[in-house]
């Protein structure tokens, strides 16, 4: 779901950067208020933990696909939403710098899509509401899965909006949404299940690590099983409804290598995006419809562009030549230094 710089315009990138910077500023203020200097190294280590954790893939039974844990809800459930938001933002920056996973100007978009929705919408409005103070395996599982799924849906929808406002892809709104949401529903389910599993492990081994956990309350609240069951049921109905709709509109939907369509890994299954889009258009004709559109814009373009491309080729050639000369002369210089060194 990481957006690249090439898919946005400076205006979209700038606005989202400002929004995310505001959210970071607010979170910094909140974290400082309850400042616990012990939390400083903890947050750093947790950032690295999520980074490493997301590289560990698990196999999804019967699909041949794989998934990994989601970062946002997991961190929020452990550190609280504000610290979690800062941790995710830092992780996204490092991913952009070192792995080209998401662009530097698109960082604001990515922080918003993956951090804001998870920490400030899905966590307080869904996870917390479901878990409340009853920290049980069931409530945590229900809370984690629903909140991860919804957070990811919002994020995916936001990706669609940001890309379309930038006007760089020709994909129409509806097909883009129909492409993104179901895929991210599947990804969300996988991430949610993994996140729930980790949180349940924490509940069993060291529940004090969970955000908002209070030993005294949790014992009595186990009585509230009924409510949890009701919520689980509701969640199942909602998710089930989504899945069946998803499955019927895309018969082979679950076989999509989900991670890939999200733009994170290998190439193989990415072709699905293309197939779906091409199918929507019901046309494989690649060459343009002959004839220019009336108006000055097109004819002006026709005039400049052919010579532009020739000129561009020449410019590129010259730049490469200059680059080659620099590299070559540097190598020669180094070689001279080496041989002279030996001679002396």
Partner 1 sequence: MSKLTESLNKIRSLEELSEGVTVIHRLHPMAKLVTTIIYLVVVISFYKYNISGLIPFFIYPILLMSLGEIPYKSVLPRLLIALPFSFFAGLVNPFLDRELAFFLFGIPVSRGLLSFLSILIKTVLTVMAVLILIATTPMDKLACQLIRIKVPRIFVMQIMLTYRYLTLLITEAAGMMTAYHLRSGGQKGIRLEHIGTFIGQLLLRSYDRAEKVYTAMKCRGFNGEYRFAAQEKMKAGDIMYGLLLCAFFLLLRRFNISVIIGSFFG
Instruction: Tell me whether residue 52 or residue 223 sits nearer to partner 1 (CB atom).
Output: 52
Q: For 132, list phi and psi in degrees, rounded to 5.
A: 40, -120
The alpha carbon of 213 is separated from its chain's Cα centroid by a whole number of angstroms, namely: 28
Beta carbons of 127 and 143 less than 8 angstroms apart: yes
Nearest approach, Cβ of 151 to partner 1 (angstroms)? 18
Q: Pick from 174, 216, 248, 284: which binds partner 1 (CB under 8 A)?
A: 284
Instruction: Tell me whether residue 94 or residue 177 sits nearer to partner 1 (CB atom).
Output: 94
Q: Pick from 217, 225, 323, 335: which binds partner 1 (CB under 8 A)?
A: 323
C-alpha gyration radius of the chain: 25
Site for partner 1 in 124-153 (CB under 8 A): none
Q: Pick from 125, 165, 245, 330: which binds partner 1 (CB under 8 A)?
A: 330
d(CA 205, CA 343): 66
114 interacts with partner 1 by CB under 8 A = no
Instruction: Tell me whether residue 230 or residue 301 sits nearer to partner 1 (CB atom).
Output: 301
Site for partner 1 in 249-268 (CB under 8 A): 260-264, 266-267
19 interacts with partner 1 by CB under 8 A = no
Nearest approach, Cβ of 304 to partner 1 (angstroms)? 5
Comparing C-alpha atoms, which of 191, 200, 192, 76 is closest to residue 136? 200
Comparing C-alpha atoms, which of 1, 13, 2, 14 is closest to residue 168? 13
Instruction: Tell me whether residue 230 or residue 300 sits nearer to partner 1 (CB atom).
Output: 300
240 interacts with partner 1 by CB under 8 A = no
d(CA 235, CA 192): 13
Nearest approach, Cβ of 31 to partner 1 (angstroms)? 6
22 interacts with partner 1 by CB under 8 A = no
d(CA 125, CA 116): 13
Site for partner 1 in 33-72 (CB under 8 A): 35, 37-38, 40-49, 51-53, 55-61, 66, 69
193 interacts with partner 1 by CB under 8 A = yes
d(CA 324, CA 188): 47
d(CA 1, CA 325): 40
Q: For 245, list phi and psi in degrees, rounded to 5.
A: -65, -40
Nearest approach, Cβ of 293 to partner 1 (angstroms)? 6
Q: What is the DSSP-derived secondary structure letter of residue 207?
A: G
Return all residues near 62 (Cβ < 8 A) that are at least 6 apart.
none
d(CA 150, CA 222): 26
Instruction: Tell me whether residue 6 or residue 125 sits nearer to partner 1 (CB atom).
Output: 6
Please identify, among the stretches 108-116, 146-154, 223-231, 295-303, the one whose residues bind partner 1 according to the rule CB under 8 A. 295-303
């Amino acid at each position: 779901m990481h957006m690249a710089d090439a898919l946005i315009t400076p205006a979209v990138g700038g606005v989202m950067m400002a929004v995310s910077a505001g959210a970071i500023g607010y979170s910094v203020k909140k974290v400082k208020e309850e400042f616990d200097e012990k939390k400083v190294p903890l947050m750093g280590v947790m950032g690295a933990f999520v980074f490493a954790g997301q590289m560990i893939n698990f196999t999804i039974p019967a699909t041949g696909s794989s998934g990994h844990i989601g970062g946002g809800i997991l961190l929020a459930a452990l550190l609280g939403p504000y610290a979690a938001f800062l941790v995710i933002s830092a992780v996204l920056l490092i991913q952009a710098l070192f792995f080209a996973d998401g662009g530097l100007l698109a960082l604001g978009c990515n922080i918003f899509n993956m951090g804001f929705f998870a920490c400030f919408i899905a966590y307080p409005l869904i996870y917390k509401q479901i878990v409340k103070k009853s920290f049980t395996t069931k409530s945590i599982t229900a809370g984690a899965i629903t909140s991860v799924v919804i957070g990811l849906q919002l994020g995916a929808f936001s990706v669609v909006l940001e890309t379309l406002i930038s006007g760089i892809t020709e994909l129409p709104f509806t097909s883009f949404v129909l492409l993104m949401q179901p895929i991210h529903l599947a990804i969300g389910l996988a991430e949610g299940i993994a996140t729930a599993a980790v949180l349940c492990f924490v509940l069993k081994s060291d529940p004090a690590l969970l955000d908002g956990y209070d030993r005294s309350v949790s014992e009595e609240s186990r009585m509230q099983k009924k409510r949890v069951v009701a919520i689980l049921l509701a969640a199942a109905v909602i998710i089930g409804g989504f899945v069946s709709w998803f499955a019927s509109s895309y018969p082979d939907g679950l076989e999509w290598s989900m991670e890939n369509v999200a733009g994170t890994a290998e190439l193989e299954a990415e072709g699905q995006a293309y197939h779906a889009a091409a199918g929507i258009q019901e046309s494989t004709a690649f060459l343009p419809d002959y004839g220019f559109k009336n108006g000055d814009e097109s004819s002006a373009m026709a005039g400049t562009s052919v010579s532009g491309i020739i000129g561009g080729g020449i410019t590129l050639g010259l730049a490469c030549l200059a680059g080659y000369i620099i590299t070559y002369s540097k190598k020669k210089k180094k070689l001279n230094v080496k041989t002279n060194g030996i001679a002396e």
